[in-house]
């Protein structure tokens, strides 16, 4: 975060903007703790009963577990597929790298419904019939998450002279894999940490794919929340607070990874 500058007007502006940004979050937190909040500027009392109630709900527990599974699975899949792909393209296949850069926004340029229809068609039959299983979600998130990893990793990679590092490593008797593990990966760790925490957040909270691709078969937290929308307000507030907590924890995890590896 940039240092607040000395001028009073600047500080006032930053204060007001921060307040505006924080207010909805605070409102949700207060709402999750309110006994009831139907009239008046403040709730009539505070209680943890909504948290207790939601956390004890088996449907909620199952949805939370599913979302955590999808988010963790997504992170693992990205580490296994996308990360090596980005490294290989950057080091050996510049033409592929250029195409990655051009095509990366495609999943965001198309309406999500179009993507869903495409994914359903792709995985309906053929060699990988995955419709209705959580695996289709993981594969569907692969292109969505790609730019989240590509951009921060490329940022780090561009600052390295990868070819010279490979040359230097070869002359010192190391193979490409050793150099990747001991030099290149540690150097891109900051970008990787940021990217993976965003992948985690995206996969944990995503709704459209989760609802349309697997929906009732595999109810994630987002879909469960959607089902609860007509019920008591405090319950949705509790779920949203749990979302915030998860995002916050994954961001913290990423930041601590950054601190551990100062470059």
Partner 1 sequence: MSFVEIRGFGKAYGATPVFADVELDVAEGEMCILLGPSGCGKTTLLRAVAGLARPDRGRLVIAGRDVTAASPEARGVAMVFQHYALFPNMTVRQNLAFGLQQKRLPRARIAEKVDAALALMELAPRADARPAELSGGQKQRVALARALVLEPRLLLLDEPLSALDAQIRKRLRDELKRLQRETGFTAILVTHDQEEALVLGDQVAVMNAGRIVQAGPAREVYDRPATRFVAGFIGDFNLLEPDAVRRVFGEQADHAWAIHPEAIDLLPTAAEHGGLTAEASVIDVRIHGPVLRYLVSANGTELKVDVLNRSSIAARCPGDTVRLRLDRAQVREVA
SS3 content of the chain, % helix, strand, coil (to 5): 80, 0, 20
Instruction: Tell me 217's DSSP state.
Output: G
Give the Cα separation of 149 and 194 in Å (integer): 8
Q: Which of 227, 225, 263 shows the shortest CA–CA distance to 64?
A: 225
Q: Which is nearer to partner 1, 11 or 182 (CB)?
A: 182
Q: Which is nearer to partner 1, 15 or 186 (CB)?
A: 186
Q: What are phi and psi of 39, to 5 degrees?
A: -140, 155
Q: How many residues does the chain have?
A: 263
Task: Evaluate whether 108 touches 151 at the Cβ level (below 8 Å).
Answer: no
**Min separation Cβ 171 and partner 1, Å:** 5
Decide: is 158 part of the binding site for partner 1 (CB under 8 A).
no
Q: How far is CA 121 from the centre of its chain?
A: 26
Q: Which is nearer to partner 1, 142 or 183 (CB)?
A: 183
Give the Cα separation of 35 and 180 in Å (integer): 55
**Min separation Cβ 164 and partner 1, Å:** 4
Q: Which of 5, 6, 41, 164 binds partner 1 (CB under 8 A)?
A: 164
Decide: is 10 part of the binding site for partner 1 (CB under 8 A).
no
Instruction: Please tell me the count of residues contacting partner 1 according to CB under 8 A.
Output: 19
**Min separation Cβ 159 and partner 1, Å:** 8
**Min separation Cβ 149 and partner 1, Å:** 19
Decide: is 178 part of the binding site for partner 1 (CB under 8 A).
yes
Q: How far is CA 88 from the centre of its chain?
A: 23
Show the binding pattern over residues 44-83: x = contacts partner 1 (CB under 8 A), - = does not.
----------------------------------------
Instruction: Tell me 44's DSSP state.
Output: S
Decide: is 261 part of the binding site for partner 1 (CB under 8 A).
yes
Residue 46 bridge partners (DSSP): 34
Positions touching partner 1 (CB under 8 A) are: 160-161, 164-165, 167-174, 178, 182-183, 186-187, 261, 263
């Amino acid at each position: 975060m940039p240092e607040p500058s000395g001028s009073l007007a600047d500080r006032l502006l930053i204060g007001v903007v921060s307040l505006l940004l924080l207010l909805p979050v605070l409102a949700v937190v207060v709402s999750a703790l309110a006994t009831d909040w139907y009239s008046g500027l403040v709730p009539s009392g505070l209680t943890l009963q909504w948290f207790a109630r939601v956390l004890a709900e088996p449907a909620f527990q199952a949805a939370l577990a599913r979302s955590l599974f999808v988010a963790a699975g997504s992170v693992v899949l990205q580490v296994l597929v996308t990360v090596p792909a980005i490294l290989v393209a950057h080091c050996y296949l510049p033409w592929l790298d250029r195409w990655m850069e051009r095509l990366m926004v495609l999943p965001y340029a198309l309406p999500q419904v179009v993507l869903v229809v495409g994914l359903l068609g792709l995985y309906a039959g053929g060699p990988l019939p995955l419709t209705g299983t959580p695996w289709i979600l993981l594969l569907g998130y692969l292109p969505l998450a790609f730019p989240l990893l590509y951009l921060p990793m490329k940022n780090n990679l561009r600052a390295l002279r990868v070819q010279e590092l490979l040359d230097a490593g070869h002359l010192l008797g190391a193979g490409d894999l050793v150099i990747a593990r001991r030099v290149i990966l540690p150097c891109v760790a900051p970008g990787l940490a940021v990217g993976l925490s965003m992948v985690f957040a995206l996969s944990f909270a995503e709704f459209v794919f989760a609802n349309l691709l697997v929906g009732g078969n595999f109810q994630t937290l987002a879909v469960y929340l959607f089902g609860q929308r007509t019920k008591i307000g405090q319950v949705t507030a509790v779920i949203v607070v749990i979302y915030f907590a998860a995002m916050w924890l994954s961001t913290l995890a990423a930041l601590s990874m950054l601190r551990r590896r100062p470059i």
